[in-house]
Chain A
Amino acid sequence: MVKLKSNDDKEFEVEEAAVIQSEMIKNMIEDGCATSVIPLPNIDSKTLIKVIEYLNKHINMGKAAETGEEDDLKEFDEQFVNMGWEELFDVIMAANYLNIHELMELCCQSAADRLKNKSVRAVREMLKITNDLTEEEEQEIINDAPWAFEGPEIDDTVN
């Protein structure tokens, strides 16, 4: 068992087989740096619980194909990313920090799926970006490719 500590001082025990999906922790274990609790100053407990849930489910990734559990895992993944936008952001940041490739892939794809058909206004609002383009600059981009701003798929809602 490996002990992880979130930035709000909560400790979690995770099986080594699960936790080594994180390249960062795997390296720490190999280097003998994981003898006691591993502090994770960038991750809060709420996010860490989600990440551990993922790691535990994907513990036997390699075996899933043999035992026909791929569909089950796929369904889990679909459910897993069904979370709020800010929660997803936190998980992406945690996955990036812990270097969990598969989780990163899953969450970035989900983020992209949510954003790809959004209007410019919706993207700015979702990512809290301030528009610093002048009206002329913006109009120029639109005039260059008006087709990119039209279409029934473009969604102006923020969620």
Chain B
Amino acid sequence: MVKRIFKSLLRFDCFSIGTTSSKKYFPEEILVDVLMRFTVKSLVRFKCVSKSWKTLISDEYFKGKHRNHAKNNKKNLVSRMVVDVGIGHWDYSCCLSSPSSSAQPLQKLGCPSNHKSYVILCCCDGLSLLRCHSVCYLLWNLSTNEFSDTTGRTTTYGLGYDSISDDYKILMVASTARPPNRIKLLGWHLFMLHFIGSSEGIIHHPSILSLHLIYQMRPHGEISLPELKHRRCDFRCVVSAFDEMFCVYSTCQDDGETETLKLWVMKEYGVNETWTQLCTIRGPHLLLAKPLFTIPKYMFAEGEVLLGFCTGGFRTSKGAYELFTEYHGRKV
């Protein structure tokens, strides 16, 4: 239906361009080819250009094109919350393409909703999962400032994109036995979301969103964890950082202050044999605020993994990673 209206609009020179000699028109496919290169901010603004642009930009077919284009031209954005007079300010920064470059501040974004206080749990494709208080979770699209809330009770969580169902999923760990060797997963499926943008930590491919979040709680069953020899190991689950791969990490306290962090990915979801150790990082103070979060955020092209600490700051296996060298003349 939308498609038909859109097509009929096209017939009436809505995408016309004037020249000295005569009026000419950008055919639909060329206009899409140009528009899909825009940022979300520009697209949202350009809904105001005319009725036909508004229809085109809101069209599912266009959103798909935009998302794929963004996916193939990966640009990573990093954002960071700077608390300012009781109001959280988000700063977008770009561009994170190698472990040796640092980001530059890009733009500011305000608070989601009227929640004054929240913690970013994880991010995927510019979609961010926040915890506002103990049981309230907020899913936030940073590019468009649209959000949706849900409740749950858990200590570990993950947000990821599942290409098979073309769907984002929030996975939560229902319970862990100690010593943990199996975990029970609960999850919300989020249907038909296309999100764009950015996150604390890392953004993957910007894409564009459709607004309807449909939650469906489903048990995901149990998953066996990879075997560990060290008895004092602790497992945490994260699915957000590595596209479509379920990921957990184990942390062990060695002698003294030295700690070891091992990152595992399940290459094929649900198949225990596909647990693969991705990297091992050894050093002091890896787990800063134990037993809380040290979260694998992103894997660079060269295989280097970026870890984010819940207390702020990032590191790779090579050492500290400065994302923000300077901001408004001061270090952050």
Contact = CB atoms under 8 A, between A and B. Distances in A.
A103 to B, nearest CB: 12
A133 B145 CA distance: 23
A8 to B, nearest CB: 12
A75 interface: no
A40 interface: no
B50 A108 contact: no
B42 A116 contact: yes
A112 interface: yes
Contacts of A141: 44, 47-48, 54
Interface stretch (A10-18, A19-27, A60-68, A117-125): A117-125
A96 interface: yes
B44 A145 contact: yes
A127 B13 CA distance: 11
Given A89-B17, A93-B30, A133 B41 contact: no
A142 B144 CA distance: 12
A130 B17 CA distance: 10
A127 B15 contact: yes
B23 interface: yes
Contacts of B219: none
A32 B313 CA distance: 64
Interface string A95-113: 0100000001000110111
B16 A138 contact: no
A116 B38 contact: yes
B85 interface: no
A96 B29 CA distance: 10
Contact of A148 (B20, B23, B41): B41
A96 B30 contact: yes
Interface residues of B, number: 36
A132 B14 CA distance: 9
A128 interface: yes
A124 B144 CA distance: 23
B35 interface: yes
Contacts of B35: 112
Interface in A125-141: 126-133, 137-138, 141
Nearest to B40: A148
A131 B26 CA distance: 17
Given A133-B54, A141-B47, 10 more contacts: A89-B26, A112-B34, A112-B37, A119-B45, A123-B49, A124-B49, A127-B16, A127-B17, A141-B44, A151-B41
Interface of B: 14-20, 23-24, 26-27, 29-30, 33-35, 37-39, 41-42, 44-51, 53-54, 107, 109-110, 144-145
Closest 7 CB pairs of A and B: A112-B37, A128-B18, A148-B44, A148-B45, A120-B48, A108-B33, A145-B44
